Structure 1
Amino acid sequence: MKRNKTLINGILLSMLIIVFLAANALRSGANNTTVDIQTTAQLTSDNIESIQIEDILKRKVEIPKKVNRILALGCSLREIVCVNAADKVVGIEYREKPKTSEKEGVPQGSDLPYMLVFPQLYDLPIVNVGAGGSDFNYEKIIELNPDIIFIGTSEVQAADDLQKKTDIPVIALYTNAIGTSKQYEIFYNSLRITGKVLGAEERAEELIDIMENYFQDLNERVKNIPDSEKPSVYIGGRAFYGSHGISGTDPQWPPFNLIKAKNVASSLSDISCGMSIDKEALIGWNPGTIFISPVSLSIINNELKSTPYQDLKAVKEKRVYYVLPYCWYSYNKENAIADAYFVGKILYPDVFEDIEIDKKGVEIFEKFYGKNGEDTYYKLKDKYNAFRKVE
């Protein structure tokens, strides 16, 4: 009897041991399963092949998570270069060729800061056809096989059509004017989209900070100047849909707005835009100082020597100056900032006394474009006789 009891106890003990080991095995298996699930989830997250981007027109576009090859159309290449992604570009537009025409007043790559600073881009294939590159060469675009296409446009249909015809994701960007708070807001959003697509978010924010820091500095310099001490000013030669003579102007020209100058044309529009005015309007305004965007130097110089412009106060007193073109194949933000410092130095010499315009211009261009900025600044300054008095 005692032996049977001992046997039963042994069996029970063995069963307890088996149950204990089985429980441990199950627990271990469950833990391993959890680890496997977590690992699988992590791998799935890391290997996502596409992401969804909302572009500046609120279009939702599926793009590759990793973008290595791009096209930038509709004047959108400028910001691609600024976010240090020029090495991803596989083609350029017709107007970005080094020389597109023998005629004065026609945009070409040798006029454009972002092309001068990265001349390797000149050697890339052209993706436009037609007179002056007015249409896209869809076969060439497909052949170049970009991962995505950027396009500067305000029309949803234009972006959708390009995407449909190429079967390549198209991201719409803002490449229009800056100058007012609303226009800056749209441009900054567009720049952030560019940075997100190209994995350059930090550089995009850095560019925004660079611009805002210059704007703040300019504002601080002029904020205490009373309106009664501000001379009247006018910008002539402002390009829009091509070059224009002295009658081409901008009611909200950014360099004037940045230093709160008294633009005689400001009542014509509440946004920065190009427009032509009548000669009579300019004669009536009779501004004290005139600045010229010199993309058509010979035309403007001849106009300034003719009646009725010879009777303008600014011309008589030799207060007419050349600046860098803010609008020339879309909008050159670095030129606009450099122009603002030059205009400030002319209008308010006391508060801009510390500014050496060439030193400041080089600084601005290097912040936008890096080490090649200095050479680019001087090339453009010499090409346009910028920051000099019209003789």
Structure 2
Amino acid sequence: MPRPLFALACLLALLATALPALAGETRTVTDAAGRSVTVPAAPKRLVCLGPGCLRLIAYLQATDRVVGIERFETARRTGRPYNLAHPELLALPVIGPGGPQSIDKEPDLEALLAVAPEVIFASAMEPGTAQRLSDKLGIPVVVVSYGAFGRYDPKVFDTLTMMGTILGREARAKEVAEFMQSAEADVRARAAKGLATPGYVRPSVYVGGTGMRGSHGLTSTDNPYPPLDWLGADNVAAKLVKDGHGFLDKEQLLSLRPEILFLDASGLYAMADELSGQPDFAQSLPAVAAGRVYVLYPFTSYLTNLETIVADAYAAGKILYPEVFADIDPAAKADAIYAFMVGRPVYADMAKDFGPLGRTFPITGNTP
């Protein structure tokens, strides 16, 4: 865009955001970066920048206010229920590339101004970057956060509360937090009952293929891994990975001797090749020898898909404690979770990509 036209576009954007302020229709919030940001009292046009930001809008049932999206949202949809639930978003104008390479960077300023948002929500953006972008465009930029990177961190509910205040979705933000807290409490209570069952012996478990800035193979793992943590499982990765994500070598994995192996479906193809292509290694794992290898859905895809953590926890619970989770149908439960959290039961779409949730994964001659 020629400089005079860009300056005119900036002026128009300034006027669009300034008029509500002149009428006194604004509110001031403290964003996730600790910045004091003045925003329109009832914004009807918004955009999201950065990983996971658009997901939070879906949780708040405010996707009808989104006026532009990042290209990354349209190009890679696998494992992201919010995107599967809202295909209408794919028809919106593209405002920048998005994706990991665009973290803490400016979007396409010309494209962003063309959709005239009243507020910009941005995740994984440093305070200085957010302020410079806001000053340049004359549009408030609100930083949002999921808390600790790649985790289930209840701090995300503080962000949802703040966003709910801006969007007039306070009640919905509270509903989402209460849903997650209730689900976690239910899973933990069931697991405690299962662990207390006379004669129950807690098996050792391991989850491989966990995502971290991309998909990986069997030796990629996490401790804690929220679904297993909620279930009180004996996650043997804790012996080697103290806090967060880690990569083991095959000898370390063999030394852990997990009795149950969960495969995070984000790395399913790589793990299929590893296990079927190295039969001696595979059969040396007690879980493989016993046929106790199961598939869970990836919950780390463009940051944390909270709803999939819940779906995975119930599916894994049925495997670890079949008696106390006997009333749970993983497919039906996942659909109910997805319907509540993102607005549509998208289990069929997830199963199309990854197969049934909690399925037994064959090792010899398998295909994902």
Q: TM-score, normalised by structure 2?
A: 0.84
Root-mean-square deviation (CA), in Å?
Answer: 2.4
Partner of 2:328: 355
Is 1:208 the counterpart of 2:186? The answer is no
Secondary structure of the residue aligned to 1:90 is strand
CA distance in 2, matches of 1:118, 1:255: 26
Cα distance in 2, alignment partners of residues 200 and 244 from structure 1: 37
- Kindly indicate whether the alpha-carbon contact (under 8 Å) linking 2:264 and 2:296 is maintained by their aligned counterparts in 1: yes
* Higher relative contact order (CA closer than 8 Å, sequence separation 6+): 2
Shift of residue 165, structure 1, vs aligned partner:
3.6
Aligned residue runs from structure 1 range 128-207, under 5 A: 128-129=96-97, 134=102, 136-153=107-124, 155-175=126-146, 176-179=149-152, 183-184=153-154, 186-207=155-176
Structure 1 counterpart of 2:14: none
1:221 and 2:219 correspond: no
Correspondence for 1:311:
284
> Following TM superposition, by how much is the alpha carbon of 1:300 offset from its aligned partner in structure 2, in angstroms?
1.1
Is 2:349 the counterpart of 1:379?
yes
Matched, 1:390 2:361: yes
Aligned to 2:38, the other structure's residue is in SS state: strand
Q: Which stretch shows the higher mean deviation, 138-147 or 200-209?
A: 138-147
Quick one: structure 1 residues 278 and 157, their matched pair in 2 at CA, closer, same or farther if it must change by over 3 Å? Answer: farther
**1:50 Cα shift?**
1.6
Tell me the equivalent position of 1:65.
Answer: 41
SS at match of 2:265: coil
Once the two structures are superposed, what CA deviation does each residue of 1:125-157 show, in whole Å capped at 9, x if it has no partner? 222249986352122112222111111126323
Q: Which amino acid aligns with 2:192?
A: K
Q: Under a length normalisation based on structure 1, what TM-score does the superposition of the two structures give?
A: 0.79
Structure 2: which amino acid aligns with 1:289? I
Say which SS state the counterpart of residue 390 (structure 1) adopts: coil
Write the distance in 2 (CA, Å) between the matches of 1:207 and 1:131. 26
The aligned counterpart of 1:243 is 215
2:80 to 100, 112, 116: 112
1:333 aligns with 2:306: yes
Task: Report what 1:86 is aligned to.
Answer: 63
* CA distance in 2: counterparts of 1:194 and 1:55, whole angstroms: 9
Alignment of 1:267-306 (within 5 A): 267-268=239-240, 271=243, 273-305=244-276, 306=278
Whether the 8 Å CA contact 1:95–1:132 is kept in 2: the answer is: no
Asked if the contact 2:57–2:63 (Cα under 8 Å) also holds between the matched residues in 1, the reply is yes
1:152-191 per-position Cα deviation (integer Å, ceiling 9, x unaligned) = 1263233223323433211111134343xxx21x111111
Letter of the aligned partner of 2:160 in structure 1? L
Question: 1:82 and 1:130, CA in 2 relative to 1: closer, same or farther beyond 3 A?
Answer: closer
The structural deviation recorded for 1:194 is 1.3
Q: Which stretches in structure 1 are left out of the alignment for 5+ residues?
A: 1-44, 101-107
Label 1:202 to 1:270 Cα distance change in 2 as closer, same or farther (>3 A).
farther
Instruction: Please state how far the C-alpha of 1:69 moved relative to its aligned partner.
Output: 0.7
**Residue in 1 aligned with 2:72?**
95
The aligned amino acid for 2:184 is: F
**In 1, distance between residues paired with 2:145 and 2:324?**
34
**Structure 1 residues 260-269 or 211-220, which shifts more?**
260-269
Q: 1:88 to 1:131 in 2, by over 3 A?
A: closer
* Distance (Å, rounded) in 1 between the aligned partners of 2:240 and 2:50: 27
User: Corresponding residue for 2:94?
Assistant: 126
Gaps of 5+ in 2: 1-20, 363-368
* Matched residue, 1:21: none
How many residue pairs align between the two structures? 331
Counterpart contact for 1:153–1:174, Cα < 8 Å: yes
* Change in CA separation of 1:249 and 1:208 when aligned onto 2, cut-off 3 Å: same
For residues 56-75 of structure 1, give each alpha carbon's deviation from its aligned partner in whole angstroms, at most 9, with x where no partner exists. 12111111112111111112
Asked whether the 8 Å contact 1:149–1:171 carries over to 2, the reply is yes
**One-letter amino acid of the structure 2 residue matched with residue 201 of structure 1:** E
Going from structure 1 to structure 2, the CA distance change for 1:243 and 1:346 (only over 3 Å counts) comes to same
User: CA separation of 1:130/1:359 partners in 2, compared to 1, >3 Å: closer, same or farther?
Assistant: closer
Q: 1:314 to 1:165 in 2, by over 3 A?
A: farther
Considering only CA atoms, is the larger Rg found in Structure 1 or Structure 2?
A: 1
Distance 1:304 1:287 in 2: 15
